[in-house]
Structure 1
Amino acid sequence: MYTQPIALRSVLDPNYLKYCLSDQYDVGDWQECTYWLRGLNDTYRLRTSCGDYILRIYRQAVDESDVAYELSLLLQLRNVLGAGTTQVSEPIAQKDNTFYSVIHAPEGERVVVLFRYLYGSENLLHDENSCYAFGRSAAELHTAMDQVNMQSTRINLDTDFLIRRPLERIISYIGENHESTSFLRLFANALIERISETASQGLDWGICHGDMHGNNNAFQEGDTFTHYDFEWSALGWRAYDLAQVRGRKRQRTERKDELWQAFMAGYRSIREFSEQDESAIELFLMARRFWVMGLDVAFVPNDTGALDFLEDWLQDFVQEFRDYHLVTSEDIACG
């Protein structure tokens, strides 16, 4: 008899979600539940007689402890930020005053959280004023994060999380004997060494958003930015958070530098960001790209499939990493 889960990742029927959850919340009658977005997790838009909400169904790999950390952080941040122009998403309490449920899916248990719907729109950060404003908001968020008191722990956004573990996943995927494996090891080790050297001289360390790239992690309504999607939030280097803004791909190449300077001016109008921290941005850009490569690999078996992640995908990353010139030809010859 087959005893393993029959699915790797399912899309849950909105009617099933209504059956499981509608009695758990005091949000009025469920009128419409629409499958809204397939990302790392599944998002549904819920419309009730009391208003609009977002229902997030975390993928099966996300533990309850991780969701509890995220929710504790959000609730504390909402208290610290008050009624200012930087806000974070609002989780909705259930009737028993808890903030998440666990429901059964074909692949196993999945955690569910209901959030208040966010109006407004994504700011594309295509002009200096927008970048300055987003920089101020990012700084206000970091300042608020310095004031929360997290009782639970979570893995740090350090070189182990950003580089070593992704390297293990990547090599497991492409194979120890692949011709690119040796270079990827050299690159990862060189990057770890450079980051460790830079961090030893002192970098701002604290709770980070973890995914602050500016594409789909904040909505703007009027002068207010509301930050959401804190799944990767944890202790880390603030330069890593800001490097994700630096690496935005939706800005015209010829304007990236001036837009970055506008963002940094906005950030520094609220809180300090040293020259040492800014000098580390390029290293954390590389680390982010390596982490993204590892994330791609993690989702091949149960989400994206292998077709778009074959040799062309691999060589694109390898060439990108070669172009950073972190590994010399002498290193490669000796490796």
Structure 2
Amino acid sequence: MHTSPVLTLPVSYSVISSQALQQELLAFYPHSGQVKVLFLYQGMHDTYLVQDTSVTYVLRIYRAGWKTFEQVEAELQVLLFLHAQGLSVSFPIADKQGIFIHRIISPEGERLAVLFSYAAGEKLSSLSPREASLFGSYMAQMHQITQGEHVSHLQRNYSVTSILDGTRQAIQTILPTYLDVYRKLEQIFEILTRQLTPIVRKELKTGICHGDPHYENIFIEPGTDKVTMFDFDFSGNGFLLYDIGSFCFYERHQKNNITSFLESYSQLLPLTSLELELVPYFTLLMRLFHLGARSKNADGIKTPLWFPDEIVAKICEIEREAQRLHIVK
């Protein structure tokens, strides 16, 4: 019987040992000596629970090649700024030398590790109107702090031009022969740019956005109703309406939640009639951003493949919504 050859192949994605992190990485941080690291879940990045007697932390190991060191540094700068302003966020923890980001050499390349404070409260499986109201107040507080701010090197840019150009480039790369799809995209872009003219954009608030205001990215503490937000991986500079449009898309089947969110948001940071009118268009922009981002990354190499037919179906769905807005307008 012939023996098959033994192959040595590169790795696209690996999981760092919890025990190795406990022994090697956590040695850089002050702790009681009873620290324990547990692999919590695997998503875009790997998340570990770090327990040290009465204190709990979260350790994130970023996917190799997802962000540069400077981009992670910018994300942490946003969190430290918000924390310093009194907003409850899961903020980065420095080691004994004051270092926030550690480099780990893995089989697929360099990965970056950051220890975060643990968000107090409970995980939500959905939002009630009351919880949506708390979320709206929280988001308004965050936007009050970040309005007019700009952090260099943030990976995301939530401007109209950046989103449309990024989506166009991603679709052209992954669907090079789908000319009818390009026409649909251009029709969507035309509706958006006709509504969001340069003159209109000057009237809108800009600053730092969370980028993914989903109920899965907040905890609410029972008894105090304290909201803590985490996962600022998609934080970016741009129009603050992007966050509001994103929330409205996530809760599109819960109209009462959208109403509660917008009402409580407006009590702290009033939305003009123009801003309220434009929320659905920023929901479209959010959908286009995610379309472009997923198309760019879901190439079947480092992340699971997103089949062309599914991308086309998603574009048609967005086009129908854009046309509906155009007709209503």
Structure 2, unaligned runs of 5 or more? 1-8
Q: Tell which deviates more after alignment, 108-117 or 32-41.
A: 32-41
Q: How does 1:57-96 map to 2 (within 5 A)?
A: 57-61=61-65, 62-81=67-86, 86-96=87-97
| TM-score, scaled relative to structure 1 | 0.84
- 1:18–1:280 distance in 2 versus 1, CA, 3 Å: same
Equivalent position of 1:316 in the other structure: 313
Equivalent position of 1:275 in the other structure: 273
Instruction: Report the aligned-residue RMSD.
Output: 2.6
Q: Tell which deviates more after alignment, 265-274 or 182-191.
A: 182-191
Equivalent position of 2:304 in the other structure: 305
1:164–1:188 contact (8 Å) kept in structure 2:
no
Alpha-carbon shift at residue 270 of structure 1 (Å): 1.0
CA distance in 2 between partners of 1:298 and 1:87 (Å)? 33
CA distance in 1 between partners of 2:301 and 2:122 (Å)? 31
Equivalent position of 1:221 in the other structure: 221
Alpha-carbon shift at residue 7 of structure 1 (Å): 2.3
CA distance in 2 between partners of 1:26 and 1:182 (Å)? 57
Equivalent position of 1:27 in the other structure: 31
Q: How does 1:1-335 map to 2 (within 5 A)?
A: 6-29=10-33, 31-49=35-53, 51-61=55-65, 62-81=67-86, 86-123=87-124, 126-146=127-147, 152-154=152-154, 156-177=157-178, 179-197=180-198, 199-200=200-201, 202-212=203-213, 214-222=214-222, 223-249=225-251, 253=253, 255-256=254-255, 258-300=256-298, 301-306=300-305, 309-326=306-323
1:170–1:294 contact (8 Å) kept in structure 2:
yes
1:18–1:30 contact (8 Å) kept in structure 2:
no
Alpha-carbon shift at residue 32 of structure 1 (Å): 3.2
Aligned AA for 2:242? Y
Aligned AA for 1:317? K
Alpha-carbon shift at residue 303 of structure 1 (Å): 4.4
Alpha-carbon shift at residue 21 of structure 1 (Å): 0.5
Alpha-carbon shift at residue 179 of structure 1 (Å): 4.1
SS at match of 1:305: coil
CA distance in 2 between partners of 1:238 and 1:126 (Å)? 22
1:131–1:260 contact (8 Å) kept in structure 2:
yes
CA distance in 2 between partners of 1:198 and 1:159 (Å)? 13
Alpha-carbon shift at residue 189 of structure 1 (Å): 4.5
Alpha-carbon shift at residue 55 of structure 1 (Å): 0.6
SS at match of 2:141: helix
- 1:273–1:310 distance in 2 versus 1, CA, 3 Å: same
- 1:72–1:150 distance in 2 versus 1, CA, 3 Å: farther
Alpha-carbon shift at residue 290 of structure 1 (Å): 1.2
- 1:200–1:48 distance in 2 versus 1, CA, 3 Å: closer
2:147–2:205 contact (8 Å) kept in structure 1:
no
Identity of aligned residues (%): 24
Q: Tell which deviates more after alignment, 72-81 or 315-324.
A: 315-324
- 1:176–1:268 distance in 2 versus 1, CA, 3 Å: same
| TM-score, scaled relative to structure 2 | 0.85
CA distance in 1 between partners of 2:85 and 2:284 (Å)? 33
CA distance in 2 between partners of 1:74 and 1:126 (Å)? 24
Q: Tell which deviates more after alignment, 98-107 or 14-23.
A: 14-23
Aligned AA for 2:215? N
SS at match of 2:94: coil
1:142–1:207 contact (8 Å) kept in structure 2:
yes
Kindly provide the CA deviation profile for residues 235-276 of structure 1, in whole angstroms up to 9, marking residues without a partner as x.
211111111111115x6x3x41x3222211101111122111
CA distance in 2 between partners of 1:160 and 1:105 (Å)? 36
- 1:313–1:24 distance in 2 versus 1, CA, 3 Å: same
1:120–1:221 contact (8 Å) kept in structure 2:
yes
CA distance in 1 between partners of 2:37 and 2:158 (Å)? 35
Alpha-carbon shift at residue 123 of structure 1 (Å): 4.2
Equivalent position of 1:333 in the other structure: none
Alpha-carbon shift at residue 124 of structure 1 (Å): 5.4
- 1:327–1:172 distance in 2 versus 1, CA, 3 Å: farther
- 1:131–1:151 distance in 2 versus 1, CA, 3 Å: closer
SS at match of 1:65: helix
Aligned AA for 2:265? Y
CA distance in 2 between partners of 1:268 and 1:219 (Å)? 22
